[in-house]
Amino acid sequence: MSTIPAPFVVAIDGPSGSGKSSVSRAVARALGLAYVDTGATYRAATWWCLAQGVPLTDTDAVAAAVRTLPLDLGVDPDAPTVVVDGTDVSADIRETAISAAVSAVATNLEARAELGRRQRALIEAEREPGSFSGGRGVVAEGRDITTVIAPDADVRVLLTASEEARLARRALDVHGTADAQAVEATRDQVLRRDADDSTVVQFHTAADGVVTVDSSHLDFEQTVEAVLAVVTAASRA
């Protein structure tokens, strides 16, 4: 485990399939930090709206439902859990129906403000000795962590990858193969969703002070090493 100051906050953003979730978990594990998956808060909110029968086209109703979201997000990188109103929805929120609908919540500015408050609270909590990380800190990932949620993080990374690589990874994840048919079936989940989400958050180019790691030609381990190298360089600076 490399030596970093405590508390330490790592912020990672990037488009769908760039490797944010899997790489952030591995980085958190390697550094002994907590892991906050902010995308899971948007997915949980979408699940909650659908469970409550709230039409996702009704902006005010979605915002009101999100304010009442009874969410408990587990921050253990070995077993991140998502519990809504006592139900473990960790698997359900990854279903295609949620992936297809989640942008309706992610583009709702009132819902973003509410979920953003909760994400900041989860990140701040990890500065405290009584938290999961024991005050060591956190790796938080999403679309606006480096810019809006934790712009003062100790390390800020934009994880990118070519469209081709991202589609192939997601196809392999969802369909077990990256053949032409599987890639085509994945297109909506990755490219249409990123295009919709981009209308409210900018996650394709790095803001000032944010380090870009392009994983297009790196395997998973190499990508984790590249992010850890950015952390090491920052903690020596």
Ligand X SMILES: Nc1ccn([C@H]2C[C@H](O)[C@@H](COP(=O)(O)OP(=O)(O)O)O2)c(=O)n1
Ligand Y SMILES: Nc1ncnc2c1ncn2[C@@H]1O[C@H](COP(=O)(O)OP(=O)(O)O)[C@@H](O)[C@H]1O
Asked whether residue 14 is marked as a ligand-binding residue, the answer is yes
Determine contact, residues 29/78, Cβ cutoff 8 Å.
yes
H or E segment to which residue 159 belongs: strand 155-160
- Total residue count of the chain as it appears in this document: 237
SS3 78: coil
The answer to the question of residue 143 lying near ligand X (CB under 6 A) is: yes
Nearest distance from residue 29's CB to ligand X, in Å? 18
With a CB cutoff of 8 Å and minimum separation 6, the contacts of 7 are 126, 127, 133, 135, 136, 137, 138
* Chain residues 154-183 in contact with ligand Y, contact rule CB under 6 A: 169, 173
- Cis amide prior to 7 (ω within 30 degrees): yes
**Nearer to ligand X by C-beta: 4 or 77?**
77
**Nearer to ligand Y by C-beta: 7 or 80?**
80
Site string for ligand X, 159-198 (x = CB under 6 A): ----------------------------------x---x-
Asked whether residue 22 is marked as a ligand-binding residue, the answer is yes
The answer to the question of residue 39 lying near ligand X (CB under 6 A) is: yes
Q: Given the DSSP bridges, would you call strands 155-160 and 211-214 parallel, antiparallel or unpaired?
A: parallel
What is the rounded distance in angstroms from the CA atom of residue 50 to the CA atom of residue 9?
33
Name which position in 64, 100, 218, 234 contacts ligand Y (CB under 6 A).
Answer: 218
The site partner of 133 among ligand Y, ligand X, none (C-beta below 5 to 8 Å per kind) is: none
Per-residue buried b or exposed e for 189-208, using 16+ beta carbons within 10 Å of the residue's own CB? bbbebbeebeeebebeebee
Name which position in 130, 219, 236, 237 contacts ligand Y (CB under 6 A).
Answer: 219
| DSSP symbol at 123 | H
* Chain residues 93-152 in contact with ligand Y, contact rule CB under 6 A: none
Name which position in 42, 47, 48, 132 contacts ligand X (CB under 6 A).
Answer: 42
**Nearer to ligand X by C-beta: 6 or 172?**
172
Contact residues for ligand X (CB under 6 A)? Answer: 16, 21, 38-39, 42-43, 102-103, 106, 142-145, 193, 197, 201
